[in-house]
Amino acid sequence: MGTLNMLGLAKRIGARFLLTSTSEVYGDPLEHPQKETYWGNVNPIGERSCYDEGKRTAETLTMDYHRGDGVEVRIARIFNTYGPRMCLDDGRVVSNFVAQVIRKQPMTVYGDGKQTRSFQYVSDLVNGLVALMDGEHVGPFNLGNPGEFTMLELAEVVKATIDSSASIEFRPNTADDPHMRKPDITKAKELLNWEPKVPLKEGLPLMVNDFRNRILNEDEGKGMK
């Protein structure tokens, strides 16, 4: 509904509209890495389908307004992104792992930890979105870092960055959890002259410093009550 409202506004005032879509439109992909031409493999009635299908519908609405009403639109499919100032408890895997290790809690890994994700630093994403909005191509464009990590490999990077004694706690996997996630960014490279610059080993410490400061301040605040 928010997308529909904003598309109506963009139509009325002649604005260029940016849809921040998601790699989740690919569902649990049968193609690896995922290109923008891939239509996806999504369960329409699953526990996470409200998000997957909601974003797919938003892309449909955006293209309908573009084709039917001439609205200038841009579509970005954003892959996992991390960085400072994220919510400490937003449920995303990088923030989960970082916050848990700083709080001396075990990292929670769902399933066997062999599912893969690709992590891009926030400044790379911002640069990609700016390039998309400044350019003449509608998209969709994959915006993500092709560096691919299993959850266990990510846990090891977090351990090496924060606390080598950190432990892992395995829990049953969530429903419809994608097994693989890796963007093919050839289109963004060629048409937007964009690619990510910040590897995980450089971006993660910047996020850790921010999380550590906020968690320590949070703990101090509790101690004063």
Residue type, 127: N
CB atoms inside a 10 Å sphere around CB 36 = 18
- What is the distance between the alpha carbons of residues 223 and 225, in angstroms, rounded to a whole number? 6
User: Would you report the helix, strand and coil content of the chain in percent, each value rounded to 5?
Assistant: 45, 15, 35
Neighbours of 67 (CB within 10 A): 10
CA-CA-CA-CA dihedral for 25, 44, 117, 103, to nearest 10? 120
Q: Is there a catalytic annotation at residue 51?
A: yes
Distances (CA, A) of 176 to 24, 43, 45, 52, 94: 11, 8, 10, 11, 19
Pick the catalytic residue: 26, 38, 51, 65? 51
DSSP three-state, residue 20 = strand
> In terms of Cα–Cα distance, which of 57, 85, 98, 78 is closest to 139?
78
Residue positions annotated with a catalytic role: 51
